[in-house]
Amino acid sequence: MLPLHSGQLSVLRVRALMMTVLLGLILLALDLGPLWDTPIPFGLVSGAGTALLVLWGFWSSKRRYESWGYKVEEDELHVQYGIWTRVRTVVPFSRVQHIDVAQGPLERRFGVGRLILHTAGTRSSAVGLPGLEFGAAAELRDLIRSRIRQEPT
């Protein structure tokens, strides 16, 4: 399996940091509110909690990044991901209805994008592959389109 672009690790870490800031503010509100009249020193809950959240976010981002992989074969795309529950999806090119390449602001900042394959059917009809270098995602989209066109009708 091929790994994701290293920019995806940065995207995951920034997202974890954003969540840490939000949860850290909630912990600070606890320090200022319900814990105000307790013997717990001010800042202990929010400081320790935020420090643990930063460590957790850094560690879990790396684990999530490393859990992803993909492989392009002659007539199908293999995508795998998951830390606790490993998911491996095989998308036959003959089932692909259309393909999107998407890029949000954070992904744009780190030069990565998502390839989204929409397939025939209703259950799990969209298969996403995040963390591709944006140009590579567009190339993969074009490669899959060319292989779809080669299919006999």
At 148, the pLDDT band (50, 70, 90 cuts) reads confident
Q: What average pLDDT does the structure give for the chain?
A: 91
This prediction has a pTM of: 0.86
**Is 41 exposed, middle or buried, given 0-12, 13-18 or 19+ CB atoms closer than 10 A?**
exposed
For the segment 106-133, what is each residue's pLDDT rounded down to a tens digit? 999 999 999 999 998 767 689 999 999 9
Give yes or no for a contact between 135 and 107, defined as CB atoms under 8 angstroms apart.
no
Side-chain-side CA neighbours of residue 108 (13 Å): 4
The 3-state DSSP class for residue 128 equals strand
Tokens of 117: 């394959």
The token pair at 54 is: 């930063």
* pLDDT tens, position by position, 51-60: 999 999 999 9
State the pLDDT at residue 68.
97
Over residues 39-53, the pLDDT tens digits come to 878 888 889 999 999
Tell me, what's the pLDDT at 45? Answer: 82
Comparing 100 with 46, the larger pLDDT belongs to: 100
Model confidence at 96, pLDDT cuts 50, 70, 90, reads very high
